[in-house]
Amino acid sequence: MSMLSEIPPNLGVLLDVPVNLTVELGSCQMAMRDVLQLTVGSVLQLDKLASAPVELFVNRKLIARGEVVVVEDRFGIKVTEIVGNAILP
């Protein structure tokens, strides 16, 4: 049985509500002086290892982690972990 068929009917109306999905590769902290000096070709070192999973957020709430993959000529995410009870039962 699919997860969508287990959702109570009164929640079905929410399934078409748009949400923002964000994937975070990592972050860094810089002084504004350094930000203003960024140019095309600048490289920023992030706080995560290249092998570390990326994090997936829905409306700024962490819901999953995954691996970056390439699908044809675009980036994609292969979900490897669902975080806590982020998905409805």
Q: Which CATH number goes with the domain that contains 55?
A: 2.30.330.10
pLDDT of residue 84: 77
Question: At residue 15, does pLDDT exceed 90?
Answer: no
Question: At residue 2, does pLDDT exceed 90?
Answer: no
**46: in domain:** yes
Question: At residue 89, does pLDDT exceed 50?
Answer: no
**1: in domain:** no
Question: At residue 48, does pLDDT exceed 60?
Answer: yes
pLDDT of residue 5: 62
Question: At residue 4, does pLDDT exceed 80?
Answer: no
User: How far is residue 15 from each of residues 10, 12, 19, 24, measured CA to CA in Å?
Assistant: 10, 5, 10, 24
**89: in domain:** no
Radius of gyration of the chain, Cα coordinates, nearest whole angstrom: 18
How much is the pTM? 0.70
